[in-house]
Amino acid sequence: MREEIIVSGRMNPMVDPHLQIWHWQIPLYLFLGGLAAGILFFAALFYINGKEKDNPAAVKLAPFLTPILLIFGLIALFFDLRHKAFFWQLYTNIKLQSPMSWGAWTLMVITPVSFIWCALHIKELLPKWDWKYDWLKALETFFNRYKKALAWVMLIYSVILGIYTGILLSAFNARPLWNTSILGPLFLASGMSAGAAAILILSRSKEEKRRFAIIDLIIIGIELFLIVHMFMGFLASTQVQIEAARLFLGGPYTMSFWIFVVIIGMIVPAVLEILELRKFHVPAVVAAILVLFGSVMLRFIIVYAGQASRWLY
């Protein structure tokens, strides 16, 4: 038997639960970022391959959500900071080895891009829209001329943003549960799936709905594959990672993870989407909402459980 006690108080989550350093702000930020990344990815993709007519919701409508999502994400990140007056330090430093720095700079690129994208489509949403000032009109013509280039920037940065939401966590080798390179692709897939779900909710076209139901179905398949892989990797690794996997395999997060994330957030919507594609009448909105719910839960559970996993010594 081995017993280890900290005699004098240490500021440590094992002793003081309030020292769980990241609370709701970070998972919310990761979710909003991932969702925005998913929407922008599909908008850019279908614009670049010239299918914008077939996918009006994806290219023109859903992107209007993204500036709002990104700004709320930044606000959530801001709430996480304890030394708020020094926020600007994020933008006077570039630290290539720090994922947090990468994320801050990626947002600095993609947020304005999302605003520009919306500005280019606002006339389709509000036909009476008038830019009033000539220089705004000139700007619009300018960006319209380079719209393809803009779409490429959006495509690349949305992938960086989506994958960053996972890499932010996987860079921490101190938390064995996060310390797996699967987390980047998993969070990217989850963001894409959430983006597809949002488009599905907004779409009015039967064809487009069908297309995004199929896309979502494929991504859910990828997510399940990645989750299985993640656990295989953990269980075949060192003791600390086996302990980390146990949080989800009998440990305190077992129920919440498998029920909320895997069953309600992936398997049920996948079944609903299959039924829908087979022409049964199930409202597509239900599946889409479940996907969004699962995507939120995935972030919250991984962020909280990760902070409960640690090296043993």
Partner 1 sequence: MRYAMAVDTKKCVGCSDCVVACQTENKVPVGYCRDWIVEVTDGTYPQLEMEIRSERCNHCENAPCVRCCPTGASHFAEGGIVLVTPNQCIGCGACIASCPYDARFPHPDGHVDKCTFCIHRIKNGLKPACAAVCPTKCIYFGDLDDPNSEVSVILKKRKSKTLIPEAGTVPHLYFLI
Binding site for partner 1 (CB under 8 A): 1-14, 19, 21-22, 80-87, 89-90, 92-93, 95, 97-101, 104, 171-175, 238, 307, 310-311, 313
CB of 98 to partner 1, least distance (A): 5
Nearer to partner 1, 66 or 106 (CB): 106
156 closest CA partner among 37, 34, 32: 37
Eight-state DSSP code of residue 279? T
Nearer to partner 1, 43 or 167 (CB): 167
CB of 92 to partner 1, least distance (A): 8
Q: State whether residue 86 is helix, strand or coil.
A: helix
Question: Alpha helix locations (H) across 146-182?
Answer: 147-170
At CA 191, angle to CA 188 and CA 194, rounded to 5?
150
Nearer to partner 1, 95 or 145 (CB): 95
CB of 85 to partner 1, least distance (A): 8
Going from the C-alpha of 84 to that of each of 27, 75, 87, 209, the distances in angstroms are 19, 11, 5, 43
Nearer to partner 1, 98 or 181 (CB): 98
Residue 110 · residue 134 · CB < 8 Å: no
Nearer to partner 1, 81 or 277 (CB): 81
CB of 26 to partner 1, least distance (A): 8
CB of 4 to partner 1, least distance (A): 5
Going from the C-alpha of 70 to that of each of 35, 45, 73, 105, the distances in angstroms are 9, 19, 5, 13
301 closest CA partner among 219, 194, 187: 187
Nearer to partner 1, 49 or 173 (CB): 173
CB of 11 to partner 1, least distance (A): 4
Nearer to partner 1, 225 or 311 (CB): 311
Pairwise CA distance, residues 90 & 105, whole Å: 8
CB of 20 to partner 1, least distance (A): 10
313 closest CA partner among 76, 1, 4: 4
Pairwise CA distance, residues 7 & 24, whole Å: 31
Q: Supply the angle between the helices 183-202 and 147-170 in degrees, to the nearest 10.
A: 130
